[in-house]
Each structure stands twice: as C-alpha cells, then as structure tokens.
Structure 1
C-alpha cells in the first residue's frame, strides 16, 4: 500500500510538471520583451537598409524597454541575412529587414527563402529609384546618356545592388528598348557609391535618400526617375515615361519582419511599437531627409504589397525573355 501511495504521488507530481510548460510561453509573451532583440540588417553598412534599421532600432529601444543591437548579414541580394532570420526561433527576439530588392530576387528564383517564411510586421519606407552620374561624366541629360548607350552597346557600366533585383530588371528593360548598359553588382552599398563617384562605373542605380551626402556635395547628379510623376524634391529630373520607357512601380520599399510563426501577440506588440516610433519627430526628420516617408503598412496589406511586387517583377522578367 505504501509503495502504491508513493507511485501515485510521483505520477501526480509528474502530471503537474507536464502541465506547467503550457502556461510558461503565455507568461513569456505577456512580458515580451524580457531581453535584447537582435535586428538583422540584410545588407552591408552604409546603405539604405542599414540606415533604416539602425535609426528604427534606436527609436524602438525606449519604446520597447530593451536594447536592439543591429547585425549586418550581407550577401545574395539580402537572402543571406533572411536565411538566418528564417531559421531563428519564432519568438520575436530576432527581427530583420525585408526590402523590395530581395523580393525582386525571389522572382528571379534566387535565395532559399520566400514571403511565407516571414511575418511582415510593417513596411516603413518607400521611394522611387533614379540613375545618377558624376558631374564630370559628360552626360548632362538622360537623353545624352542613352544615346551613348545606343551607339556603343554594353560599354557603359551601371553600379547596382545585384542580379535579380529591380536594379537588374530595370537594366534589362532599358536594354530591350535599345539602351544596353552592363550591370556591375556590388554587395556593399558603400563600395557601389564609391565606384561611380570615383569614375570606376559610369552610372549608379539608387534611391536619392541613400546618397544624400553625395547629392549635397555635388559628387553625383540625378538624370532620370523611374516613376509616373516627377519627384517633388527633384522637379527638373524627367521621368522614364517622358523619354519613352514604361518603367514605373519598381519602388524600393523596406520593412521589418520576423520568422513565420511568431506569436500573434508578440507581432501585435512589435507592430504597435513600430507605428509609435514612426510618429516620432526623430523618425519623421529621418524619413524626410531620405525621401522615404510613408504611413506604415501592416498586416494583410503589408503581405499583399510584398506578394504583388514579386508578381510584378516576375511578369516583367517574363516579358523580357
């Protein structure tokens, strides 16, 4: 009888312990975050994704009450960093930048991850791209640049963020229209900018906010904007449509994402914090300076934005094959 009583007591204790873990995750989620959150920036230092990630993490720290160290994991058009993010625990303590350049690369069948591997918390930046040259390039207008490309196909070089990105898609569309330039990809943004500033490449494909310092110093000048309307901050720069190219909608958007399966309440808290951060004067000043201000896009709308962009890039690639 004593033995049976002891066995019953042990089994009852084991049953109680087995029940406890079910309550533990809820407790942890209610107190999220209770430790530092790592933010993986999926491109190298000095580029738009890096600037955005570091600015947002700095503003989020007091809002969330924890430190948010930034780690740069560059390579494969952002896919190297996103692979690390996708394989991290889905607990909200590892976040990453997910930007349109990488989404475009998925349409080119690059990378081992896709939209379904992530919960997109919020899209917080959006901006059109342009072509930039040095003032000493000899190209005062986009027409002069394109005429040279037509006369000597493939001799002009364009510094881009990589193959399969919207940079690459734009170069392909231009080539289909007779303006053939050679794509020269750079994994590190700073090296890409320096290549054109230093005259090692002829043209830079980039967003104006990422190279503000070079625009302000006069080391680079814009020739064309890939949008339906002229940029309000660069009213003298023509759109691609004005010179006969239908290249619009290839915007650069940037978002913060988490591994797929992150608990809904954790995603909700992060989303709320990012929205609060986006309203601060610090963030508004930053996005105005980088020409990227938008109201954050969240939830199903953010996911649809990513899916639609991937589909658009895929269709444009198919039409150019």
Structure 2
C-alpha cells in the first residue's frame, strides 16, 4: 500500500516548484553551486527551483529545514563537507543517515592562502612564524567545527598554532587577508579564483596527498611534515532521508543531466572542482566515511 502510494506520488512528481535550500550565505561556493544546479535542473524537471539561502551554524541551520520539511521531494538542499565535519566536531544534531544524497557533484582540496604582499611568501616561513609565535597568526575560516577548524587543530597538534577567525559572509572571508583583517585564508581555489587571477592572493600549501595539477609549485602539507589529507571540500545535493526512492531517482536523473551539460562543465572547470558524480550507496558511504575520518582525526 505504501509502496503503491510512493509510486503514485513519483508519477505525479513534480507538480510545483522545488525549493533549493543553500546552506551558506550568498556569494560563496555552496551558493554558486546550488544556484547553478537549480537553474540546470529546471529544464528536465519542468518546474522552477527557487533558491533560499539559510545560513548559520556551519550549514546546519539550512539542513534543519531539509530535515523538518515533508520528505516529499519539494525541498532539496546543499550538503557539503564543511557541515559533515561539524557533526563530527559536536556541532548540531544531524547525522549522515538523516539525509539521502542525490549526488556528490563537486570536490576540491583546500589550501592556505595569503595576500600577495604578505610577509610570509612560503609555507615554511608561515609555519616557522606560527611555531615561534603560537596563536598570533589569524586564519579566516568558514566556521567552528568545519574541516577548516579541524585542519587548524591538527596543525596545532604538530606545533603550528594559528587562531581560527570565522566569517559568516563568504565574500568577507575571501577578502580578509587582502584587507589585512587576517593573516591567512583557509579555502579551496575555486572560491577565490577571481582573487588568484587578479594576483591578490597566493597559495602556500595544499591539504591533499598530491600536489594540485593547477598549482604544481605549491607543496602539500605532508611535504612539510604535517600529514593532513582526506579533508577535501565536497559538495552534494541532498534530500530528507525518508524521501521515496522513486522521487530520489527522478532527482538523480535531473542532477545527472545538469552535470553533463556544457554549462556545468564550464562552471566546474572554472572552480577547479570537476569530478565524476557520485550517486546512490557510494554517495552515502562517502559521507559516512568522511564523518568517521574527521571524528578519528579529532580523537587521535
């Protein structure tokens, strides 16, 4: 009976606009991804996907709407690694099993950036100063509990102690080292591409197992004695965990079509975040494994 009702609901889906909840403020990477995806999904779904920015608590405020709205496929949202990391750090009450991942559509390692005129022109110089002056250097981050925060805690364990300075507004965070409000920025390159192209920011170190192909001269943290990797910034489209499988399938098809489009390929290339989309059980496992990775690193 429930199964039949679920199939009937899917056959009529969608009949009205689908809200796209972006879990961070306007102008950031999650916002750009959510808006691009919403626009590209509209043609295959045949309805509009108006975007609502519900920022706060490292993305958890927006996910509360996703969890509390009906599980009928009319509320979808961005669920990104920053927020998953915050759960492992004890922020919010969400768990990976509270959501159904439609698709992981972007992924990129994060870097430490400084202003082009910074006195720290190499990661070695930056780390040496931080070691000699614990807590003096400030780092602009997306919030407490995120992998920004986790990475800084892991660096501190290795003797490189810097101060976390969270910014609610993405644009203010990106510009903070340029304006001298912080010494360093923790971010992925796609979100600050305009500042890199303008020569205003300089990447010093990447947190990945290998050097980034677009920035071959930037060393990995492991090369400098800090083996911090696996904390990549991935972004997904998700729904409530109880959303009927038939509706999930319709949304998966819409996202797959969007990702295959030339518009999306241009977008992800410009943000250094193109990946082969991850869907189904593999996507759920990716979220769960990341949650456990962060928890294990914090407890090590």
State whether structure 2 residue 162 is matched by structure 1 residue 175.
no
Contact 2:6–2:244 under 8 Å retained in 1: no
Residues 1:193 and 2:174 aligned together: yes
Q: Give the counterpart of 1:202 among 169, 180, 183.
A: 183
Among 20, 30, 36, the alignment partner of 1:39 is 20
> Alpha-carbon deviation of 1:26?
4.1
2:35 paired with 1:57: no
8 Å contact from structure 1 (residues 83, 112) kept in 2: no
Distance 1:187 1:308 in 2: 27
The runs of 5 or more residues in structure 2 that have no matched partner are none
What does the per-residue CA deviation read over 1:130-151, in whole Å, with 9 as the maximum and x for residues that have no partner? 0000011111110011111111
Q: Aligned to 2:281, which of 300, 304, 310?
A: 300
Which consecutive residues of structure 1, in runs of 5 or more, have no partner in the other structure? 1-18
Look up the match of 1:159.
140
* SS, match of residue 80 in structure 1: helix
SS in 1 for 2:82: helix
Taking the aligned partners of 2:297 and 2:158, their CA distance within structure 1 comes to: 13
Aligned to 2:217: 236
SS of the residue aligned with 1:303?
helix
User: What corresponds to 2:79 in structure 1?
Assistant: 98
1:147 aligns with 2:155: no
| 1:119 positional shift | 1.0
Which moves more between the two structures, 171-180 or 22-31? 22-31
Runs of 4+ displaced beyond 6 Å:
21-24
Picking from 260, 266, 272, the partner of 2:247 is 266
Q: Is the 8 A contact 2:17 2:49 kept in 1?
A: yes
Conserved in 2, the CA contact under 8 Å of 1:122 and 1:298? yes
Alpha-carbon displacement from aligned partner over 1:274-294 (angstroms, at most 9, x marks no partner): 111111110001001101111
Q: More helix per residue: 1 or 2?
A: 1
Q: How do 1:240-255 residues align onto structure 2 when only pairs under 5 Å count?
A: 240-255=221-236
Structure 2 CA distance for aligned equivalents of residues 142 and 118 of structure 1: 38
Q: CA deviation at 1:24?
A: 6.5
Q: Is the 8 A contact 2:110 2:207 kept in 1?
A: yes
Work out whether residues 111 and 189 of structure 2, in 8 Å CA contact, stay in contact via their aligned partners in 1.
yes
The alpha carbon displacement at 1:194 in A equals 2.2
State yes or no: 1:83 paired with 2:64: yes
Q: Contact 2:6 / 2:246 at 8 angstroms: preserved in 1? A: no
Of the three residues 289, 292, 312, the one matched with 2:293 is 312
Instruction: Report the Cα distance in structure 2 between the residues aligned to 1:199 and 1:260, rounded to whole angstroms.
Output: 43
Match of 1:132 among 102, 113, 118: 113
Secondary structure of 1:297's aligned partner: coil
User: What TM-score results when the alignment is normalised by the length of structure 1?
Assistant: 0.91
RMSD: 1.4
Helix, strand or coil for the counterpart of 1:187?
A: coil
Asked if 1:121 corresponds to 2:88, the answer is: no
Selected match of 1:286 from 260, 267, 276:
267
Question: In structure 1, how many angstroms separate the alpha carbons of the residues matched to 2:67 and 2:171?
Answer: 26
SS at match of 1:271: helix
Measured in 1, the distance between the counterparts of 2:134 and 2:122 equals 18
